[in-house]
């Protein structure tokens, strides 16, 4: 590749990463319009599946992408992931029911799982100028402090632009355009990548792809998700359906562990869990994914449903959070490069995030919107210290031969935590609302009036507060784990 082609390729990679972050956040701004259009009776109860379907599909394919990059070449896998994402986006925009939209979000997630992970492979190869050395495509990039700063900027920009763009489209166009907007950007990425990307293929030992292990991981994730979604809601906790799912989850977990212990090239080697830093980092990333993905969507719903704020204006409340993530991401990257210990930022980040979630757990029907904005700023400052730090710490602590699967592993736990968090918190909200509300689903609040509407709003606020309290509890557990980290000095 020429120097000009390499620069264009880096821009393509950054655009792809931004597209991935945008899509994770843009849907949160249009949940209420989607529900009102597709399923006004029960749509709010199914909102968690919009998140979980995408996250679960991404999680299922995530362990495969590194191996596919080694066997087929990063260029082919990159183009295929973007193409799959675009097909899913087009289908989502054309959905005619919540069931269709959830199913199409899963298709979109298959491609979305590669937007970030495969892009990291491409960037690593562009920097090295050589194919990945069998490390599952994660590249060598140890000590990537600058990468953490860029990651913080991209995450902050995506978090700011996603809900804002979604709100503008929902208020002035149609919610379907939050998916259609991916098409011109994605097609431009495909065209540019096809034209300039010239990555060498790996010609060493061909790697075996552990499809069985990845399938068992996806089946386990799905069964646990169904337990949290159906238990006590669609079916009683003691019903044969829920008990059967719990039994299936335990069996699938056992089979997955057995497969990872016996497979020639497992997707998640058990030897990684013998390293204390990696073991704690995996747990931390899962808790962070649970707290962030499982609760943030309810900030937007609270602002629109309880406070009556339009989608565009509601999305503006995420700007303080995005600014916090961007600024603190750059600062922590520079301070880490100067020798500041990573544990300092991980402990501080979990503590600040727990405090922010605690503030959000006190929301009322007339809480000052300045308090909401301040809490979101704190949340950005907290999560901004965590973005990239755990991945970098994992890369520095993993054995060189397992660098790729370690990086893929921590992203797997983050995706799984996010999917389960969205489902679990959705169930918590529904259960609390049913206990406190005037009867019926929270999706019917907009159709109520008078005393029934007032009671429903109060019950919904209590439900949202409970969700944030659960997220705060998850971050407190993460803080205790962060304190136990024993990061070796370089």
Both tokens of residue 75? 């260029």
pLDDT digits (tens, 9 = 90+) for 24-81: 667 766 777 787 778 776 666 667 677 777 877 777 777 677 667 766 777 888 899 9
CB 428 within 8 A of CB 467: yes
CB 201 within 8 A of CB 71: no
Is pLDDT at 480 greater than 90 in this prediction? yes
Alpha carbon 470 to its chain centroid, in Å, reads: 18
Is pLDDT at 183 greater than 80 in this prediction? yes
Torsion angle in degrees (nearest 10) through CA of 428, 27, 365, 430: -20
CB 166 within 8 A of CB 28: yes
**The pLDDT of residue 137:** 40
- The most confident of the ranges 112-126, 345-359, 380-394 is 345-359
Residue 29: partners with Cβ closer than 8 Å, 6 or more residues away:
162, 163, 164, 165, 166, 167, 170, 178, 300, 311, 314, 315
In Å, what is the CA distance from 92 to each residue of 39, 175, 327, 397, 486?
15, 10, 33, 40, 45
Within 13 Å of residue 88, how many CA atoms lie on the same side as its CB? 25
**The pLDDT of residue 48:** 67
Q: How far, in Å, CA of 255 to CA of 249, rounded?
A: 10
Average pLDDT over residues 450-462: 86
CB 198 within 8 A of CB 79: no
pTM for the whole thing? 0.74
Residue with tokens 């407190």: 476
Is pLDDT at 159 greater than 50 in this prediction? yes
Give one DSSP letter per residue of 142-200, joined into a string: TT-HHHHHHHHHHHHHHHHHHHHHHHHHHHHS-TTHHHHTHHHHHHHHHHHHHHH--PP
Alpha helix segments (H runs only) across 29-95: 31-38, 43-72, 74-93
More confident residue, 182 or 407: 182
**The pLDDT of residue 488:** 62
Output phi, psi for 319, to 5 deg.
-60, -45
pLDDT-derived band at 145 (thresholds 50, 70, 90) equals very low
Q: How far, in Å, CA of 485 to CA of 278, rounded?
A: 9
Alpha helix segments (H runs only) across 266-388: 276-295, 297-301, 311-316, 319-337, 342-360, 369-386
- State the helix-helix crossing angle for 3-26 and 98-128, rounded to 10 degrees: 150
CB 322 within 8 A of CB 156: yes
What mean pLDDT value characterizes the chain?
A: 79
pLDDT digits (tens, 9 = 90+) for 266-314: 877 888 888 888 889 889 988 988 887 656 778 878 888 888 887 667 7
Using CB atoms within 10 A of its CB, is residue 486 exposed (0-12), middle (13-18) or buried (19+)? exposed
Helix (H), strand (E), coil (C) string for 274-306: HCHHHHHHHHHHHHHHHHHHHHCHHHHHHHHHH
**The pLDDT of residue 138:** 40
pLDDT digits (tens, 9 = 90+) for 317-335: 878 887 888 788 778 878 8
pLDDT digits (tens, 9 = 90+) for 413-448: 877 787 777 778 877 888 888 888 777 666 677 777
Residue 490: partners with Cβ closer than 8 Å, 6 or more residues away:
none
pLDDT-derived band at 126 (thresholds 50, 70, 90) equals confident
Alpha helix segments (H runs only) across 207-275: 211-230, 240-262
Range 175-181 contact pairs with CB under 8 angstroms and sequence separation of 24 or more = 175/30, 175/33, 175/34, 175/37, 176/92, 176/93, 176/94, 177/93, 178/26, 178/27, 178/29, 178/30, 179/89, 179/90, 179/92, 179/93, 179/108, 180/89, 180/90, 180/93, 181/26
**The pLDDT of residue 415:** 74
pLDDT digits (tens, 9 = 90+) for 380-416: 888 888 876 787 787 778 787 676 677 777 777 877 7
- State the helix-helix crossing angle for 403-436 and 450-483, rounded to 10 degrees: 150
């Amino acid at each position: 590749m020429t120097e000009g082609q390499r620069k264009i390729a880096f821009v393509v990679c950054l655009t792809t990463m931004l597209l991935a972050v945008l899509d994770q956040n843009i849907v949160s701004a249009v949940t209420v319009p989607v529900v009102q259009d597709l399923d006004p009776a029960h749509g709010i109860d199914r909102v968690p599946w919009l998140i979980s379907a995408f996250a679960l599909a991404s999680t299922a394919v995530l362990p495969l992408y590194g191996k596919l990059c080694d066997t087929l070449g990063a260029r082919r896998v990159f183009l295929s992931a973007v193409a799959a994402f675009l097909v899913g986006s087009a289908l989502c925009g054309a959905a005619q029911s919540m069931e269709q939209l959830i199913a199409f979000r899963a298709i979109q997630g298959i491609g979305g799982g590669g937007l970030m992970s495969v892009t990291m492979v491409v960037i690593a190869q562009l920097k090295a100028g050589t194919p990945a050395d069998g490390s599952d495509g994660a590249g060598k990039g140890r000590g990537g402090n600058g990468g953490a700063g860029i990651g913080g900027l991209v995450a902050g920009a995506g978090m700011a632009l996603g809900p804002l763009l979604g709100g503008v489209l929902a208020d002035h166009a149609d919610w379907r355009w939050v998916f259609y907007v991916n098409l011109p950007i994605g097609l431009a990425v495909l065209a540019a990548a096809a034209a300039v990307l010239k990555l060498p293929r790996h010609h060493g030992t061909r790697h075996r792809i552990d499809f069985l292990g990845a399938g068992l991981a996806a089946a386990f994730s799905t069964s646990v998700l169904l337990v949290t979604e159906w238990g006590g809601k669609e079916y009683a906790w003691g019903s044969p359906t829920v008990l059967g799912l719990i039994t299936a989850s335990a069996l699938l977990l056992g089979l997955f562990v057995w497969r990872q212990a016996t497979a020639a090239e497992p997707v998640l080697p058990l030897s990684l869990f013998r390293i204390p830093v990696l073991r704690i980092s995996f747990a931390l990333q899962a808790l962070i994914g649970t707290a962030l993905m499982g609760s943030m969507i309810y900030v937007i719903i609270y602002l629109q449903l309880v406070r009556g704020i339009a989608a565009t204006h509601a999305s503006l409340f995420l700007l303080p959070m995005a600014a916090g993530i961007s600024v603190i991401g750059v600062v922590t990257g520079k301070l880490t490069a100067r020798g500041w210990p990573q544990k300092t930022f991980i402990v501080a980040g979990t503590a600040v995030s727990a405090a922010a979630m605690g503030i959000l757990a006190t929301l009322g029907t007339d809480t000052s919107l300045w308090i909401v904005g301040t809490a979101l700023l704190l949340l950005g400052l907290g999560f901004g210290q965590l973005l990239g730090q755990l991945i970098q710490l994992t890369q520095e602590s993993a054995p060189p031969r397992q660098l790729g699967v370690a990086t893929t592993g921590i992203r797997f736990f983050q995706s799984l935590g996010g999917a389960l968090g969205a489902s679990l918190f959705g169930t918590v909200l529904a259960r609390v609302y049913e206990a406190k509300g005037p009867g019926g689903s929270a999706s019917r609040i907009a159709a109520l009036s008078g005393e029934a509407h007032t009671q429903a709003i109060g019950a919904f606020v209590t439900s949202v507060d409970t969700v944030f309290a659960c997220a705060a509890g998850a971050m407190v557990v993460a803080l205790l784990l962060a304190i136990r980290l024993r990061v070796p000095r370089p």
